[in-house]
Structure 1
Amino acid sequence: MPGAVVLGGDYQGLGIARSLGRRGVRTLVVDDERSIARASRWTAASLRVPSLRTDDDVLDALSLARARRGDLTGWVVFPTRDEQVAALSRHRSLLTRTWRIPTPGWDCVRVAWDKRETYRMAQKLGVPAPRTSSEPDFTAPVLVKPAIKEHFFYATGAKAWRADSPAELRERFAAAAAIVPEDEIMVQEMIPGDDQFSYCAFVKDGSAVASMTVRRARQHPSDFGRASTFVRSVPVPALAERSLCFLREIGYYGLVEMEYKLDPRDGEFKLLDVNARTWGYHTLGAAAGIDFPYLLFRDQIGQPLPAPGPARAGVSWIRLATDLPNFLVDLRAGRVRAGDYLRTLRGIDTEAVFSWRDPLPGLYEVALLPYLAVKRGL
């Protein structure tokens, strides 16, 4: 049976390696950081490369994997970052001569990759989304955010900037224009509240083979989070119809997470992002009865797919390495009470890294916390 190459070895990549490895699938983790997935009992091998940020980096890494590990023809490649998704998509016709690439073609992926395209498609289909402009003329408070996340994120470490006055908006807009092209800068209305949800699915032929909806209760940082830190599965039927409408229109195949925020002003779930890959908390799926990476792998190698039932509601996932420090910051700022936070820790179903069946990655992460804090703020 062919194996799998996982591009990125943090907790997201670790979840993929565990999903496949415990079923006998050989897994090679390729990373440009000191990753925890290499310590897993389910990782067959690992490879450190200089970088995975550009198209050439990804192509070189896959070539190096073949040179170092022998014949990997037919192995399935799992990206874990948006820039890797873009690289695999843009070079799909070349890569599929050797690899199984579960990433759609560029005409499809660019709608998720470029948020200008995302919001244009949402408007075309009548999928609610926040009001967005390319000009710094919105009434504050607003968000200043990039259309293509990676160009901005690696320079600033932020997903978006908040502006609370017209003067601050102009200042933020000018600062962003010094980092990325001005036409990549978006000014977006602030949706009040903290009710964030996601629709997660394996989509094939216009239908969801398996799906799950969740409430992303906490994130890091708390204002404009780069990653979720506490998530619980919840039934939100309204998200499935609009999400599948969007995905059918662009001809999507594979794993996807679509992020929404509930707007208390009109009661609408408004589309924020489309992530064309596994998402950070995808291991919540396995705890709720749907192992997303394994479903995708089976489909890629031509094996029949099981018919998973609906994801169980009320299943919780946490990443303590970021959730606990974030709580301490919010506690000092008076945004949360200790008792309320501690009550959410009762009955956690799955932790992002720690596992009694595979304890070394958890121990390795503790040792790497100073490195991770400096490298990418955890």
Structure 2
Amino acid sequence: MTQARIEPDRATPALLVKVGHYPQHHGGVGVIRTLGRLGVPVYAVVEDRWTPAALSRYLTGAFVRRTSGTEDPAELVGLLLEIGAAIGRPSVPVATDDEAAVLLAEHAEELSAHFLLPKVPPALPRLLASKAGLFEVCRRYGVPSPAAWVPQGYGELLAVGREHGYPLVLKNLEAWTRLRAPAVRHTTVVRGETELRAACPPGEVPSVLVQEYLPPELAQDWITHLCCGPDGAEPLVFTGRKLRSWPPGAGVTTRAQSLPNPELAAMAREFCRRLGYRGAADLDWRLDLRDGQYKLVDFNPRTGAQFRLFQTVTGVDVVRALHLGLTGRQVPEGPQLVRSFGVGQLDLPSAAVTCWREGRLPQDVLPRASTERSWLCRDDPLPAVGEAVRFTGAVAGRLRRAVPRSGR
């Protein structure tokens, strides 16, 4: 039987939308490539002309706009309206961070003059991006999740560790506060009160969620990437295993495998249906081997950085599904491919730490033929060159700061 082909609306551009400064983002490059390869014009908000995303051959145009997330939302909305007017025709915005997703949802009415947006309940992305909000939503709908606490005072913060034990996980509580007043640089595992006090010094309690730690020997990391269509149709859901991250155990995915998991897919699908969610999303789960439950750890109401891991046999990923759905095109059906994903320059140190800590050879150290590489590809080599230059410069800068200068 002949497989259905993807027939995109090439007259409707896409815009990569981001809030905050993170020029070395492979997810944004993936958005540009996956739509650009279909012939869809793709524009992007970038920090400068030399970001890896700005170097992609598939980018139609770049808008250099440096944002920090500390701006008034009205200023950011005005920025998007200016960009939309410059593009000159309705386009599909693709958010790559929680702040951008929240902004698009809460100001959809204003932005609809220039952008095609999923009809998600305006307050829902902010609620799901909030670590405390997600915990409450999981309790309301009976979705398993790790135990979590939101301390209201420094004494309460210390009491969590003393009463429930260590290790514990610290996370920035809200989408916007992680940029304006971050409690921790990233998801952080603390293994005792000394580390807790170092991460959160005495004084005013930061905006932080304290979460139960599920050790790797007793749990598995799973991810679901999905796209809920604008008309409430059956969502496209992908499932896979997260093998490694950087920093190890608590950072961005550096190695993952696409693996069909009907049970987990059904859980994610039903949860989004009950929420009335629309658009793309990236959900992190942990399978607790002690009780056999999949526990929802994070719900990112936007495209995930590793979304290119997941693709159907018909060539559909969540970004392509989002564009097809919002432009009224058919999303071809088909099972997901089984393959791997790797972020090479971050996965090698992650694999080394895993080997040292656990005394075993990590999985998938060498890329397979089916591996989707985050940066390097034959048809679009310049983003990988740009990333190599920036990565080398960042490492060199850290080494210079770490080595004391002589003669002082």
TM-score tier (shorter): 0.7 to 0.9
Post-superposition offset of 1:206: 4.7
Post-superposition offset of 1:57: 5.2
Q: Paired residue for 1:212, among 238, 252, 255?
A: 238
Matched with 1:290 is 316
1:99 to 1:41, Cα distance in 2 relative to 1, 3 A: same
Aligned-partner SS, 2:345: helix
1:286-345 CA-to-partner distances (Å, cap 9, x unmatched) read 376432211211211222x133212123x10111121123334445x44454x5456553
1:354 to 1:287, Cα distance in 2 relative to 1, 3 A: farther
Q: Which residue type is aligned with residue 2 of structure 1?
A: T
Q: Paired residue for 1:58, among 42, 54, 76?
A: 76
What is the rounded CA distance, in whole Å, between the counterparts of 1:355 and 1:248 in structure 2? 36
1:159 to 1:3, Cα distance in 2 relative to 1, 3 A: same
Contact 1:3 1:26 in 2 (8 A): yes
Post-superposition offset of 1:243: 1.5
1:35-92 CA-to-partner distances (Å, cap 9, x unmatched) read 211111111111211215243453243244246xx34331111111111111111211
What is the rounded CA distance, in whole Å, between the counterparts of 1:302 and 1:147 in structure 2? 36
Work out whether 1:357 is the aligned partner of 2:379.
yes
Q: Which residue type is aligned with residue 317 of structure 1?
A: F
Q: Which residue type is aligned with residue 209 of structure 1?
A: P
1:5 to 1:207, Cα distance in 2 relative to 1, 3 A: same
Q: Paired residue for 1:36, among 40, 44, 52?
A: 52
Post-superposition offset of 1:346: 3.7
Post-superposition offset of 1:179: 7.2
Contact 2:95 2:302 in 1 (8 A): yes
What is the rounded CA distance, in whole Å, between the counterparts of 2:250 and 2:321 in structure 1? 31
What is the rounded CA distance, in whole Å, between the counterparts of 2:125 and 2:328 in structure 1? 23
Matched with 1:326 is 350
Q: Which runs of 5+ in 1 are unaligned?
A: none
Matched with 1:278 is 303
Q: Which residue type is aligned with residue 232 of structure 1?
A: Q
What is the rounded CA distance, in whole Å, between the counterparts of 2:374 and 2:289 in structure 1? 30
What is the rounded CA distance, in whole Å, between the counterparts of 1:122 and 1:341 in structure 2? 32
What is the rounded CA distance, in whole Å, between the counterparts of 2:393 and 2:334 in structure 1? 40
What is the rounded CA distance, in whole Å, between the counterparts of 2:289 and 2:90 in structure 1? 48
- What's the C-alpha RMSD, in Å, of the aligned pairs? 2.8
Contact 2:26 2:374 in 1 (8 A): yes
1:104-163 CA-to-partner distances (Å, cap 9, x unmatched) read 232221221212121111111111101112233331212232221552367466323333
Contact 1:206 1:247 in 2 (8 A): no
Q: Paired residue for 2:279, among 254, 267, 278?
A: 254
Contact 1:36 1:364 in 2 (8 A): yes
What is the rounded CA distance, in whole Å, between the counterparts of 1:128 and 1:87 in structure 2? 28
Aligned-partner SS, 1:249: helix
Moved more, 339-348 or 235-244: 339-348
Moved more, 363-372 or 216-225: 363-372
Post-superposition offset of 1:15: 1.0
What is the rounded CA distance, in whole Å, between the counterparts of 1:195 and 1:179 in structure 2? 31
What is the rounded CA distance, in whole Å, between the counterparts of 2:344 and 2:311 in structure 1? 19
What is the rounded CA distance, in whole Å, between the counterparts of 1:279 and 1:336 in structure 2? 31
Contact 1:143 1:162 in 2 (8 A): yes
Contact 1:216 1:231 in 2 (8 A): yes
What is the rounded CA distance, in whole Å, between the counterparts of 2:363 and 2:224 in structure 1? 25
1:148 to 1:323, Cα distance in 2 relative to 1, 3 A: same
What is the rounded CA distance, in whole Å, between the counterparts of 1:177 and 1:29 in structure 2? 41
Q: Aligned residue pairs: how many?
A: 365
Matches within 5 A, 1:106-255: 106-135=122-151, 136=157, 137-138=159-160, 139-141=164-166, 142-152=168-178, 155=182, 158-166=185-193, 169=196, 171=197, 174-175=200-201, 178=204, 180=206, 184-193=207-216, 195-204=220-229, 205-225=231-251, 227-255=252-280
Aligned-partner SS, 1:106: coil
Q: Which residue type is aligned with residue 44 of structure 1?
A: T
Matched with 1:27 is 42
Aligned-partner SS, 2:311: helix
Q: Which residue type is aligned with residue 59 of structure 1?
A: V
User: Normalized against structure 2, the TM-score is what?
Assistant: 0.81
What is the rounded CA distance, in whole Å, between the counterparts of 1:375 and 1:295 in structure 2? 40
1:198-228 CA-to-partner distances (Å, cap 9, x unmatched) read 1111113555432210101011110311x10
Post-superposition offset of 1:270: 0.6
Q: Paired residue for 1:366, among 384, 388, 407?
A: 388
Contact 1:201 1:208 in 2 (8 A): no
Q: Which residue type is aligned with residue 364 of structure 1?
A: G
Q: Which residue type is aligned with residue 30 of structure 1?
A: V
Work out whether 1:6 is the aligned partner of 2:11.
no
What is the rounded CA distance, in whole Å, between the counterparts of 1:125 and 1:166 in structure 2? 33
Q: Which runs of 5+ in 2 are unaligned?
A: 1-10, 152-156, 399-408
What is the rounded CA distance, in whole Å, between the counterparts of 1:72 and 1:52 in structure 2? 26
What is the rounded CA distance, in whole Å, between the counterparts of 1:375 and 1:23 in structure 2? 39
Work out whether 1:307 is the aligned partner of 2:317.
no
